[in-house]
């Protein structure tokens, strides 16, 4: 686990720099046995690295994080990045994409983050998936429900980005939502870039730019279970944009539980790869 308490371009409610510490603190309290995946991360061994601290712009952080995450991937380990604001994703995803040319980012978010520039930077949290797209990586986003006209036009024209919008998910009975999330997910190794504002704010209200009407807990958990059951290769994951608030520790616990579930899914993927003897 790589804590990245980074916050440089957050536009509204600040505090996401405290996200990684809050997740780690809450993670001491959540049950280690994961009910959904029927497994536990401690079976594999988990190491928490020293936090990556950077006061510079996102491009500078990307140059620090790319080799850090690259070293974890080269050691055949599973990196889980704890954010911090979403702009920090560029370096980790670049590290994964250089090693997996057919990488797919499964992106949970209320926002597509596909703006070319926002508030004077091309590397802020509203632009990160645009920069990821320029790496040649395919993106499948779910929970999307706050889209700029520029992003709407790009989504209509760009076949390398597919979406499961929140409006479509919420129109379905809960049991049918995971299938809709995974419909259209391209084949290939997966990087999970999960902004917790993609979840319904009833699950994680403590985030910088909350939007009503998000993805429910059953759906995200079941998506992880189905990826695991299908034997999908998971390369790495991120939990982003928790902005802890006094009196709202339920958000910290939800993010800790989600991070643990993602970690279990990732470690099981690594175990399958090791068992099949194939290094990719
Ligand atoms: Mn977002």
Query: Cα 223 to the chain's mean position, in Å?
Result: 13
Give yes or no for a contact between 72 and 159, defined as CB atoms under 8 angstroms apart.
no
Q: How far does residue 85's CA lie from ligand 1's centre (Å)?
A: 9
Scan for tokens 């279970």, then name that residue.
Answer: 225
Gap from CA of 214 to ligand 1 centroid (Å): 11
DSSP 8-state symbol, 242: B
Is residue 278 one of the residues assigned to a domain? no
Q: Which CATH number belongs to the domain containing residue 192 in this structure?
A: 3.40.800.10
278 C-alpha to center of ligand 1: Å?
35
| Dist. CA 275 → ligand 1 center (Å) | 36
Cα of 188 from ligand 1 centre, angstroms: 24
Residue 12 has pLDDT above 70, yes or no: no
Mean pLDDT, residues 123-143 taken together: 95
Region 216-244 average pLDDT? 98
Domain assignment present for 216: yes
**Confidence band, pLDDT 50/70/90 cuts, at residue 280:** very low
pTM for the predicted model, two decimal places: 0.96
Tell how far the Cα of 210 is from the centroid of ligand 1, in angstroms: 8
Ligand 1 mean position to 170 CA, how many Å?
Answer: 18
What is the residue-averaged pLDDT of the chain? 95
Of 138, 64, 153, 131, nearest to 107 (Cα)?
138
- Is residue 177 pLDDT above 70, yes or no? yes
Q: Is residue 280 part of a domain?
A: no
Q: Is the pLDDT of residue 45 over 80?
A: yes
Whether the Cβ atoms of residue 261 and residue 34 lie closer than 8 Å to each other: yes
Distance 112 CA to ligand 1 centre (A): 7
Residue 203 forms part of a structural domain: yes
Amino acid 267: pLDDT: 98
Residue 262 CA to residue 253 CA, distance in Å, equals: 14
Look at the chain and report how many structural domains it folds into: 1
Query: For 23-30, what is the mean pLDDT?
Result: 95
Whole-angstrom distance, CA of residue 132 vs CA of residue 134:
5
pLDDT in tens, 69-83: 999 999 999 999 999
The rounded Å distance from CA 199 to ligand 1 centre is 10
Determine, yes or no, domain membership for 41: yes
Residue 23 has pLDDT above 60, yes or no: yes
| Residue 279 in domain | no
Judge whether 260 and 33 are in contact, CB under 8 Å.
Answer: no
Q: Do 167 and 145 form a contact (C-beta atoms < 8 A)?
A: yes
Cα of 35 vs centre of ligand 1, distance in Å, is 27
Mean pLDDT of 190-215: 97
pLDDT average, residue stretch 119-137 = 93
What domain range is 9 assigned to? 2-271
Return the pLDDT at 14: 75
Residue 8, CA atoms < 13 Å, CB-side half-sphere = 19
- Percent of the chain whose pLDDT exceeds 70: 98
């Amino acid at each position: 686990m790589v804590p990245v308490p980074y916050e440089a371009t957050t536009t509204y409610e600040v505090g996401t720099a405290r996200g990684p510490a809050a997740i780690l603190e809450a993670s001491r309290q959540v049950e280690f046995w994961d009910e959904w995946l029927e497994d536990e991360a401690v079976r594999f061994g988990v190491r928490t690295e020293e936090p990556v601290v950077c006061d510079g712009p996102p491009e500078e952080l990307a140059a620090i994080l790319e080799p850090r995450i690259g070293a974890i991937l080269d050691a055949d380990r599973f990196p889980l990045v704890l954010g911090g604001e979403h702009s920090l994703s560029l370096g980790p995803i670049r590290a994964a994409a250089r090693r997996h040319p057919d990488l797919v980012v499964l992106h949970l978010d209320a926002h597509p983050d596909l703006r070319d520039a926002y508030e004077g930077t091309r590397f802020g949290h509203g632009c990160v998936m645009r920069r990821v797209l320029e790496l040649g990586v395919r993106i499948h986003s779910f929970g999307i429900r706050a889209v700029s006209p520029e992003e709407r036009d790009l989504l209509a024209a760009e076949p390398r980005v597919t979406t499961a919008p929140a409006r479509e998910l919420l129109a379905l009975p809960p049991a049918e939502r995971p299938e809709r999330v995974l419909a259209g997910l391209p084949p290939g190794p997966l990087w999970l870039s999960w902004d917790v504002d993609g979840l319904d704010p009833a699950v994680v209200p403590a985030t910088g730019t909350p939007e009503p009407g998000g993805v429910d807990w059953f759906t995200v958990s079941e998506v992880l279970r189905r990826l695991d059951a299908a034997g999908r290769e998971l390369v790495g994951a991120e939990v982003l944009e928790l902005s802890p608030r006094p009196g709202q520790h339920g958000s910290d616990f939800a993010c800790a539980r989600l991070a643990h579930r993602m970690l279990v899914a990732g470690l099981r993927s690594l175990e399958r790869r090791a068992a099949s003897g194939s290094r990719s």
